[in-house]
Each structure stands twice: as C-alpha cells, then as structure tokens.
Structure 1
Amino acid sequence: MVVNVHSRSGGKAYTYALERLRELGVPVGATYPLHDPSRLVETVESAAASGHDLIIVGGGDGSVSSVVDCLAHRDVPLGLLPLGTANDFARTMHIPEDLDGACRTLRDAHIVDVDLGLCGDNYYVNRASVGIGAEVAQAMSPRLKRFLGPLAYPVGTAKAFLKHRPFAAKLHFPDGDHEDREYDKLLQVSVANGRYFGGGQVAASDSGIDDNALDITVLRQGSIRQLAGVVRGLKTGEPNDQIEQFRTRAVEVGTDEPQPINIDGEVVSSTPQTFEVARNALHVVTPRTWTDGEAPE
C-alpha cells in the first residue's frame, strides 16, 4: 500500500485504511506513507518489480495517472483509495469514495481490464487537454486544492479563463475514420479515455473507459453566456453549439503555437502530439457490480 500522505486527507486515511484492511483480512505485505509525492512513481515501480500481486495507491487522479506508466501492460492490478479533490477515476470505476467502502472493494478483489489513454509516451486514465484545461491545471496549486477541496476547480477555472488566449488547432485522424479538421479561436481540445473528468464532468453521454476509443471534444471560444451553457452540457455529456465531438482510436493534435498538455491535472507535454487508446492496458480492482458506461448509484 502506497499512500500520498501529503494529499488533502492522506495522513488520517493512511492510518484508518491500514487498520481497516487488516480487520477485513487483506494481507498488506508492505506499506509506504509518502510525505514526498515525487517518490510515488519510484515507490510503485519498486513494489511492482518486487513481486507484489496487488498495488494499493491512496491519492487522487494525479497520483493514479502518474503510476499507470509503471502498471500498464503488467500483471499487477491497481487498487485505489480515493483521497483526491475530484476522484474522477474512482467515479468512473464505481469505487466508493468513503474509505470503508473502498477497503471492502479491495477485500472482494474483483479485477477488470480497462483502457488507458496514451499521449506520446505518457499513459493516462481520465483526460488529456490543450487550452483552458491545461491553464486550469497550472492555476490549481496544491495549496488551493488542500484548502478549498472541490471548490478549487471553479476558482482555478475562473483564474485560467481571465488569462486565456484563443488558439488555432488542426486534428488529423490517422485511421481515416474522420476527415481532418482545422479550427481557429478555440478554448480547448480534450481527449478523454475515461467517463468523468474535472470533478464529475462527462466526456460524452455514452462514453466509457473500456470501449477501445477516445472521446475528442473541441470547444470553441464564446461569450460568457454561451460558455455557461457548455458547462451545463459537460455535466451530462449532451451536445452544444459551441462543442464538436468525435470518437476515435487515435488523433494527432497540432496548434498554431506550442500549447501545454494537461494529463489528469498535471502538465506533462506540449503540442504537437499524438493520442492513442491502449486497449485493456490496466488491471483495476472494482466493485463486483461495475459495468462500464453506467453511472454509479
């Protein structure tokens, strides 16, 4: 079990989860309460290479996305204790946000295979974005998330919107399933692998994390009133005049000037970049009732 105790609720959660898992009969062989988040990847890589048959990670979407590079296409499943601000991956996988429910899910050990997104050489679980999403990630400091919790998202979005400059982009679909597209004055291009992102927004009304596809959303720059309608639509995945959507297995995104790319809350790359779906690349412990594409109860 590897827990980012530097996260918003990590310290208390680590102690509770360890005791609860032992009560439930889960044989936790080694534990790593990390005060330095930068050691998360090396710790998970070491644990996976040491022959452990399950890696339990306690953290948020950024923590999950950072370690899937270690676990992609390996036989070691990922178990999750949702300790982040948004917990969109946990929501996609129907993993309870309360620690007792998450621990019981780990005890039951129902393992499924799900897709990952691939941005260049970087795997991700939820979504990659160019434009306002990357600017929101840069505005969302750890301190802001620690003190505001879920409210950090609207605050970070407002800060990013005030600084945003519209950009031009070109989309090329190497599989030939869509015609190439060119746009100017964009707010964002996002490439979603999972169903949820940004604190419960929906990539598309029928999106899923195990459909062998990525959901592309192109968001045009608009007035405050138009964008308010977009925000409402993103909660349900319904279409909007400011939005154009595509479903594909691969897309190449180029921009008029290099733009940073946000992957699950962390800026890790820049355009131009190729995005692909990595089919059944990650083993995840989920509730036995999990069905891809269905909203959690």
Structure 2
Amino acid sequence: MELAGFSAVLAFMTSALLCHNPQAGNEANDRDSIEAALKLAGYDVDYADVKGEGFTDALQKAVDLVVVAGGDGTVARVLTQLRERSVPIAILPLGTANNFARSLGIAGTPQELVETWDTDHTSPVSIANATGHWGTSLFVEAYGIGVFPQFLLDGKKMGKKGKKPEGAKSLQQGRKLLRKALKRADPIEIVLTMGKQSKELCVLGIEVCNIAFTGPGLPIATAADVTDKKLDVVIIDSDSREAVMDWLESPMDGTPPFLTRKSAQVELTFHNAPTRLDDEAFTASAGKFSVDLACEETSVRIVVPVKHPSQKALEKKAGAA
C-alpha cells in the first residue's frame, strides 16, 4: 500500500526540465540548490547543462514545465531552440543584466521564485526572426546595427584581457564602455523600411527590440509589449549623442533620449557596420546588406510573477484586522 501510494504521488508530480548554465550565479544558486528548491516545491526534475552535448536532445523531452536558470544568453538559447512552444517556461535570472527577466518583472532568488510559480499564470512572449544573406536566425532581445554591436565587440576584447567584474560593477562598467563607444562612433547610413514606408537615415545606430531592456540593463524600448507581435525600432540619432551619454549616467531616472517606432515588419539596408543578434556581435563587413525582421507566428509561454505566499498571507491578515 505504501509503495502504491508513493507511485500515485509520483504520477501527479509536475515534471520539469531544468536548463541550467553552471557558470552563472554563485554557490547559493548552483545546480544542487536549485534542484533542491524545485523538488521541495513538488517538481520531478530532469537536468540539462545548456552548454553540454545532450542539451538539444533534452529540449525534445515532453515535460510540464521548462525552467531556465542563467543569464540572457541562456534564456535566448533555450527559447530559440525549443520546438514545443506550448509548454510553460519559468525563468530563474542568474546573469548580470537579466534583460529578459527585467522586461517581464521577474526578480528574486530561485528559492523565492519557485514558490510563486503558477503554470496557469503565463504571458505569451514573441520570438523574433532576422533574415539576411546567411539565412534566418531567431532572437529574443534585439537585432542591432552600429554602436551597441560595437560596445559588445569592445567588451569581448576587454574580457580577454582580464577578469570580468560581477553584478552591479559589471553593469556600471558596461555602461561606461557604451559611453566610450558612443563618443567615438561615426554616423552610419541606413535605409529603414517599416511596412510600405522607407526612410534614409544617418545615425549612430538602430536597435530593433523585442523586449524593453537590452545591453547593460538599459530600458531603451520602454513601450515594448511582448504580446503585440510588433518590434520596437529604437533610433540612436547623431544629434542625440550627448543626451544619450548623459542618460547613461543614470538610465533608470530619466526618459531614454531615443526616437522609437513600432512595426510588425522591419527591413534594414546598410553597409560596412557592425551588427549583433542578441549578445552575439559581428564585425563590419564590406558590401551592402539587407536584413528583414519580424515576430514569429507562435509565441512562447512565460510564467509571470504572482505574489509570494508570505505576501498573500500578510495581506489576508491585514484585511481581516
């Protein structure tokens, strides 16, 4: 009877695939501690190292919940490779910028977040695609040309020279590095097409954003709506160079000094400029290039925050008083 009862309990447990970057976070958020938190909350856990050989195969398993534990690179890797987009996805932000989690209001330790999950409380989130001479690639955060890609390239060079700072120091250094890239950036000629309207621009860069936050934790696309199937085009105008550099000193306190537009279809035509797809940057290449950008028809389902049980209990107690 006891064995039969135990088997019945297992049958009703929620199966979860933990997609984890073991290099993200700290000892308090390592594999063992995250798995322990999930099991304590009643999940039957399978583990996949996002940088391991079996990761792609692990994503094909049928589970009730996919848990992504890592930074923005880990989130992008899972969301763009996951074929079954109907399964709910929960995010445990363990990176530095955590732009995806910030954009959806997800914050807290794994132990705190696990207790608040409700797989019926999800939001559809668009996945975007970029089509160019190389084929088609999916992205979660942004496709960019100009100063933001150059900032990523500069950061990669710095990372090779010494140890990368962590946490807030890393964000501060990132914003400082972006200011340097802005200071020396040359204007780029880009033809921007949205729908049937085209315009020739001479700008420091363009970011086509799928979510509000990008780069070193910057809310550049404040009007971004992850459910509207539209991309937010953020234009970094040459005339706003100084204003942007000032804003980077305290980006959470002021309105971002960018021109922004929304469109379901975006085409960018340019030459000799660095580009980026999420956090992967590419150096400038000679020749003329065109890139088409849009949202995928099918969205992913992200578990969004509900109140922590302790907060609900306090509110109930206060209401009864």
TM-score by length of 1: 0.80
Asked if residue 137 in structure 1 is aligned to residue 152 in structure 2, the reply is: yes
Q: 1:262 matched to which residue of 2? A: 276
Query: 1:95-134 counterparts in 2 under 5 A?
Result: 95-106=106-117, 110-120=121-131, 121-134=136-149
Structure 2: gaps of 5 or more residues: 1-17, 308-321
Cα contact 1:200–1:235 (8 A) shared by 2: no
Alignment partners' CA distance in 2, 1:250 and 1:227? 26
Q: 1:31 matched to which residue of 2? A: 47
Q: Deviations over 1:68-96 (max 9, x none)?
A: 22125633332211011111111122222
Tell me, what secondary structure is at the counterpart of 1:140? Answer: helix
Tell me, what secondary structure is at the counterpart of 2:126? Answer: strand
Letter of the 1:117 counterpart: A
Q: 1:227 matched to which residue of 2? A: 244
Asked if residue 149 in structure 1 is aligned to residue 165 in structure 2, the reply is: no
Q: 2:302 matched to which residue of 1? A: 284
Match of 1:81 among 75, 86, 92: 92
Q: Deviations over 1:207-265 (max 9, x none)?
A: 2111221110111224763333554796478474xx322110011111132x3322322
Q: Could you tell me the percent identity over the aligned residues? A: 21
Name the CA shift for 1:139/1:75 in 2 (closer, same or farther; >3 Å): same
Q: CA deviation at 1:130?
A: 1.0
Asked if residue 206 in structure 1 is aligned to residue 220 in structure 2, the reply is: no
Deviation beyond 6 Å, 4+ runs, structure 1:
none
Name the CA shift for 1:129/1:245 in 2 (closer, same or farther; >3 Å): same
Alignment partners' CA distance in 1, 2:290 and 2:252? 28
Q: CA deviation at 1:276?
A: 0.5
Alignment partners' CA distance in 1, 2:254 and 2:266? 20
Alignment partners' CA distance in 2, 1:111 and 1:126? 19
Tell me, what secondary structure is at the counterpart of 2:152? Answer: helix
Match of 1:171 among 167, 173, 192: 192
Q: Deviations over 1:91-130 (max 9, x none)?
A: 1222223222222244666333211221222222222211
Cα contact 2:117–2:306 (8 A) shared by 1: no
Cα contact 1:210–1:280 (8 A) shared by 2: no
Match of 2:200 among 161, 182, 188: 182
CA RMSD of aligned residues (A): 3.0
Letter of the 2:87 counterpart: V
Name the CA shift for 1:97/1:265 in 2 (closer, same or farther; >3 Å): farther
Q: Deviations over 1:42-62 (max 9, x none)?
A: 644312212223221211111
Cα contact 2:219–2:256 (8 A) shared by 1: no
Name the CA shift for 1:10/1:251 in 2 (closer, same or farther; >3 Å): farther
Cα contact 1:189–1:218 (8 A) shared by 2: yes
Larger radius of gyration: 2
Q: Which moved more, 1:129-138 or 1:157-166?
A: 157-166
Alignment partners' CA distance in 2, 1:181 and 1:239? 22
Alignment partners' CA distance in 2, 1:123 and 1:10? 32
Cα contact 1:194–1:203 (8 A) shared by 2: no
Letter of the 1:267 counterpart: A
Q: CA deviation at 1:20?
A: 1.2
